[in-house]
Amino acid sequence: MMKLWKRASGALKDRKSLFSISFSRKTSFRNPDLDSAVIHATSHGDLSVDYHNAHRVYKWVRSSPANLKPLVHALSSRVNRTRSWIVAVKALMLVHGVLCCKVTSLQEIRRLPFDLSDFSDGHSRPSKTWGFNAFIRAYFSFLDQYAFFFSEQIRGRGKKTQNDSVEQELERIQKLQSLLHMLLQIRPMAENMKKTLILEAMDCVVLEIFDVYGRICSAIAKLLIKIQPGAEKAEAVMALKVIKKATSQGEDLALYFEFCKEFGVSNAHDIPKFVRIPEEDIEAIEKAINGVEEKEETKYEQEEVEEEKSIILVERPEFKTIITDKWEVFEDDLCFTCKDIKETDQHREYNVDPSLLPLIVIDEPVYFTHSLPDLITF
């Protein structure tokens, strides 16, 4: 009886919202037709997403940049007033789909036009809705950061060149790894969350994970080709940190997908094999780092020797200096120094076969062969 009352109450709220926008006029900030599509796509019905109206929203987004402001207004008005976990989840899925449109005008959004970081459902007891609340907060956090990352990518597309520094590429990989970490926080944790709507949202999350992780793997494979024996120590250290993080995240992904399969997420049943980067490749980078350190230390010692010689020759011009392989001996026997000069292997090689390194090992990458659900593809 309570469920029927909640459904009736939610349907009444949707009708009231639709009725109120029917009197609105179209302006640069308002589009009644777009408002209607957003309300239908984020209705209070908990059965499934209204894909037809979601497609209508995507069509407006792709058709003209002028529709972006009305969309932002419609979403913010709808979400900022709601205390329904159903409306919140649908709104996040709708925004996820909008970001997947990859339209240049979306760079103007930068951050989501609403805040669900402290969302709490107001229609049921916290003991029943805590799992939904946590799910929404995690999903919102990812999308908010993803919107900012996507905006930066578009803005920097004109500046990006094929000769981007290793440091710049490493920074991009680290940002992707941060996004992946946030994606892995999105999971249904309560027993009462096995609902169609949550499963649909998880399908979108899983496909996003395939895409982000695939981009990380591809970027690392290309990056390792650029790391040469003469690479800067800071770059080599940063690269090692990125690779170890990717290996750790590969292990986390395997556990995450096992959880998703048990929960019933359809897109998690056909997953790639996750393997570690070979230890010898990690050791190769470590040797490259140690090589840089040895080279710097040897250079420093050599400079120190030369500096001492110059100082002594200037301050003690009356002494004759005899130079041997390991010693500087002064005729008065009052002063001498011993320097054990380390030899650096100048022929150290660091060659990596990129075909051995991708962390996803499959015949055809899943994130290319899978078709996205209707909500986020066209």
Q: Are 276 and 247 in contact (CB under 8 A)?
A: yes
Q: Specify the pLDDT at position 8.
A: 77
CA distance 309 to 261: 71
Fold matches, 1-147 and 163-293: no
Q: Specify the pLDDT at position 42.
A: 94
pLDDT in tens, 278-313: 666 677 777 767 765 555 555 545 555 454 433 333
Q: Specify the pLDDT at position 243.
A: 87
Q: Which class would CATH give 1-147?
A: mainly alpha
Q: Specify the pLDDT at position 251.
A: 87
Q: Let me know if 90 is exposed, middle or buried by CB neighbors in 10 A (0-12, 13-18, 19+).
A: buried
Whole-model pTM: value is 0.74
pLDDT in tens, 82-132: 999 999 999 999 999 999 988 888 887 888 999 999 999 988 888 999 999
> Secondary structure of 19-47 in the HEC alphabet?
HHHCCCCCCCCCCHHHHHHHHHHCCCCCC
What's the CATH code, domain 163-293? 1.20.58.150
Q: Specify the pLDDT at position 276.
A: 60
Q: Specify the pLDDT at position 255.
A: 92
Q: Specify the pLDDT at position 162.
A: 58
Q: Where are the domains of the chain?
A: 1-147, 163-293
Q: Are 327 and 340 in contact (CB under 8 A)?
A: no
Tokens standing for residue 167: 């440091």
> Residue 183, Cβ neighbours under 10 Å: how many?
23
Reported residue count of the chain is 378
**CB neighbour list of residue 105: distance below 8 Å, 6 or more residues apart:** 65, 68
Q: Specify the pLDDT at position 5.
A: 63
Q: Specify the pLDDT at position 337.
A: 33
Q: Specify the pLDDT at position 168.
A: 87
DSSP state, residue 344: -
Which residue ranges of the chain lie beneath pLDDT 70?
1-3, 5, 157-163, 227-231, 271-281, 288, 291-378
